[in-house]
Structure 1
Amino acid sequence: MEDNETVNDELKTDSSRRCILTGGKDSRDYLIRLALAPDGSVHPDVRARAPGRGAWISVDHTALSRAITKGKLKAALQRAFKTSDITISSDLPVRIANELQQQVLNQLGIEARAGRLLSGSERIIDSCRNGRVALLLHASDAGSDGSGKLDFAFRVGKNRNAERQEVTSEKGLTLPVDRMVLSLALGRGNVVHIALTAPVTADRIKKSLMRWCRFIGWNGDTDICIDDNADTMAIAGNNVKGSD
Structure 2
Amino acid sequence: MPERRCVLTGEVSPAEQLVRLALGPDGSVAPDVHGKAPGRGAWIGVSRADLETAQAKGKLKGGLARALHEGQFTIPDDLGERIEAQLRRATLDRLGLESRSGTLISGNEKIEQAARRGQVRLLLHASDAGEDGRKKLAQAWRVGEDDEGSGREGQVLPVDRHTLSMALGRENAVHLAITDARAADRVLAHLSRWQFFTGWSRDAANRDSDPLAPPPAGEEKTGTAPAGTAASDAF
Task: Give TM-score, length-normalised by structure 1.
Answer: 0.80
**Contact 2:103–2:183 (CA<8 Å) still a contact in 1?**
no
CA distance in 2 between partners of 1:169 and 1:15 (Å) = 34
Q: Counterpart in 1 of 2:165?
A: 183
Identity percentage over the alignment?
51
User: Within 2, Cα distance between the matches of 1:92 and 1:200?
Assistant: 31
- Aligned-partner Cα distance in 2 for 1:22–1:182: 34
Conserved in 2, the CA contact under 8 Å of 1:34 and 1:42? yes
Contact 2:124/2:175 (<8 A) preserved: yes
- Partner residue in 1 for 2:202: 220
Instruction: Describe how 1:22-61 pairs up with structure 2 within 5 A.
Output: 22-61=9-48
Match of 1:197 among 163, 179, 182: 179
Alpha-carbon distance in 2 for matches of 1:30, 1:169: 27
Unpaired segments ≥5 residues, structure 1: 1-13, 161-165, 222-244
Is the counterpart of residue 71 in structure 1 residue 58 in structure 2? yes
Q: Deviations over 1:104-158 (max 9, x none)?
A: 1111111112222111111101101111111110000111111011111111222
Are the equivalent residues in 2 in contact too, given 1:159–1:167 (CA < 8 A)?
no
Q: Given the two structures, how large is their TM-score scaled by the length of structure 2?
A: 0.83
Which whole-Å deviations, capped at 9, do the CAs of 1:209-229 have from their partners, x for residues lacking one? Answer: 0000000000235xxxxxxxx
Q: What secondary structure does 1:29 align onto?
A: helix
Question: Is contact 1:35-1:55 (8 Å) kept?
Answer: yes
The residue type paired with residue 78 of structure 1 is A
Flag as ranges the 4+ runs of structure 1 deviating above 6 A: none
CA deviation after TM superposition for structure 1 residue 170, in Å: 3.0
- SS class of match (1:47): coil
Higher relative contact order (CA 8 A, sep 6+): 2
Aligned to 1:153: 140
Which segments of 5 or more consecutive residues in structure 2 lack a partner in the other structure? 204-235
Aligned counterparts of 1:53 and 1:153: Cα–Cα separation in 2: 48
Alpha-carbon distance in 2 for matches of 1:124, 1:53? 44
> How many equivalent pairs are there?
205
1:83-122, aligned counterparts within 5 Å? 83-122=70-109
Deviates more, 1:88-97 or 1:197-206: 197-206
* 1:169 shift after superposition: 4.2
Asked if 1:16 corresponds to 2:3, the answer is yes
Tell me how far apart the structure 1 counterparts of residues 121 and 149 of structure 2 sit (CA, whole Å). Answer: 16
Query: Quick check: 1:207 aligned with 2:192?
Result: no
Give the counterpart of 1:139 among 108, 119, 126: 126
Amino acid at match of 1:186: L
Q: 1:183 offset after TM fit, Å?
A: 0.5
Residue 131 of structure 1 aligns with an amino acid whose one-letter code is G
CA RMSD of aligned residues (A): 1.9
Residue type at the aligned position of 1:195: A
Equivalent residue in structure 2 for 1:82, among 64, 69, 73: 69
1:32-67 Cα distance to aligned partner (Å, 9 max, x none)? 111111222101010011111111101111111111
Alpha-carbon displacement from aligned partner over 1:173-202 (angstroms, at most 9, x marks no partner): 010000010010011111110001121121
Q: Is the 8 A contact 1:140 1:176 kept in 2?
A: yes
